[in-house]
Amino acid sequence: MVGDGQAALETAALLGEQGTRVRVPARADRLCRNDVPPLWARPWWRSARSPHGGLGPGWRNR
């Protein structure tokens, strides 16, 4: 499996579950998926209108 995108990682995981030996080479030092975005320095009114959630800003993500 070549690449570090979501599709490559999911395919590698599925192949690994089936007993296949999988390697995922990537140019990055480590693979980070779904990390919490950094907090922004925003005015309080903008944070109230669109709060910072685990996947990004907005009430839907909260």
Q: How many CA atoms lie within 13 A of 35 on its CB side?
A: 7
Question: Measured in whole angstroms, how far is the alpha carbon of residue 9 from the centre of its chain?
Answer: 11
Distance linking the first and last C-alpha atoms of the chain: 34
Q: Using CA atoms, how far apart are residues 23 and 20, in angstroms rounded to an integer?
A: 10
Q: Which residues of the chain have pLDDT under 70?
A: 1-4, 31-40, 53-56, 61-62
Q: Which residues contact 24 (CB under 8 A, 6 or more apart)?
A: 1, 2, 3, 4, 8, 9, 12, 31
Residue 46: its pLDDT value, please? 80
Residue 4: its pLDDT value, please? 67
